[in-house]
Structure 1
């Protein structure tokens, strides 16, 4: 049996043996929040699985051992330090072993990172997850688990992102993973229990439904400093852009995606049409409302190097490109804005702005050196700058 996952983690391709192992045939219904792609004439499964349909086969994969998990996390931490990263939010740790590995490696100082770990909550059993997370919650010196991860929808290129209006030429509005009432109740409950809520939201309907749920939680529980967050936020309806600031929701952009690559030109714009394509990755518009902005990689989906994403946010072009097409250049932001997003903005989203994120007397010395001054080079060269030294708590942990 073979299963191959797409780079974005929202689709998989399986062979006939995998379909047989999972008992998937033309009579198998699509799971809630998933889709089995089929031959249009025979309804036989084609081997492409979207979203939760991947679980039907994925559940047969052997689990990683504790040793494999720890080795993987140590290697990942070294790679992060290489790029000058000293703090992370792991937005979705599927296994308890992964959570414990983070905690143990942090306590034993085998990784040099400030870690905010999270656990998934699913629509079908979120109440059970809430009670379990209360027992798993911890806050250590450099590692904490106080964040819940929800998926509002899928991705545009798989036509699983939830849209307010159908994909062009169809009646399909994508997949909204949570019924709005259920999301309202879940986010309000996690908020009341003191958890930070982190939501994957791509389509304008997924984003609006999530903003509505955060607003509902505030109405029920009152304002708080949970620093809830939405990631990716690719297609934001113009009416919803001010709501991030109004509701105090941190906007986490993966700005490396905000240039006209094949995903945009061949798989996004053609299914959205010209009007909605003007709404893609509106980093500048959201930042100008005064909202908290932070940057993220979504690694391993895309590059872990923050400077790649910083450059694209500034140029809206492919890294290294200075004459080619730009994606909505009016949504570009300044270099200083993105450096703040990756330093004090990131620290704020991790509740660490009093300890790191800026160079001030009394703060922890998480500092990096680059081989050039980013403000003195052309913007299309930002990605080529190299980290020469990374310090964590004043200790040199990486040297080029």
Structure 2
């Protein structure tokens, strides 16, 4: 009986020792069998890196930190858009001088002199000034920046839209102060340029242009004023004016660019406007001083054209009689063909003189 009891006791001790070793190997060295790994580890992650945040926690963190940044971003975009829209409207509605005058009080209030005696101010006023100064100074600085940028931009644009100089011609010689200035357009007035596929560009002289220039050069200072580039005008005029009847040539750089067109600005010629005549086939559409315009028919290669020669009697009469101001004279021909109207008036004047002469003879008898 004792042997049986002793055997059972030894068996229980051995069994307890095996269980102790099994759990010890699992906890200390990790499982060595796949089934033990699947049984013990289950769904646990095998990587040593910490697991990421769960989707609900990540969304919650983004919503807390993203709202202020999004609000600041949209606020800046709205402020920038409003500033650009305001600057665009002001640029369209007001000139630079008007903006400068209207914003001068605001910009002056933002300038605090360092030499002011602060003890003479009330403390409440000083506190208000200290709090309000950033609110006033920031718009004032932005306005000053806008004025500087607009001034530099307009100065740059003016170089392309304004004539190259305030005085496009040199001073007239003192002995020629009484001489009238005859400004002639180039295309469709003195010549015509035509392009065809088989021959390219060709330039044709208007009938009578040589006699026109040679005769009037005796009485007028002749100027050619074109909206073409100088590289086109100079060689054309060299071939056109072989007798050097034309004194000066003005090209596109001397025009004023306005409303998508290049206009001749006679006020920049450095000549008395009462003594300027502008002859052109497109006079009223190309000149900023319609009161000085002598409009003739545009020439487009008509072989029987005589308009330049027909205009010589009127221009010859003006040069010989030298009216004090040519503008009222031209205004009396407004809406009429000057060459034909001048002939009609000349005939009427001759008829009246003949009648007066005849009446004088009768009176003497």
Greater CA radius of gyration, 1 or 2? 2
Which protein has the bigger strand share? 1
> Aligning the two structures, in what range does the TM-score lie when normalised by the shorter sequence?
under 0.3
TM-score, structure 1 length as denominator?
0.20
TM-score, structure 2 length as denominator?
0.22
Which protein has the bigger helix share? 2
The higher-RCO structure (CA 8 Å, 6+ apart) is: 2
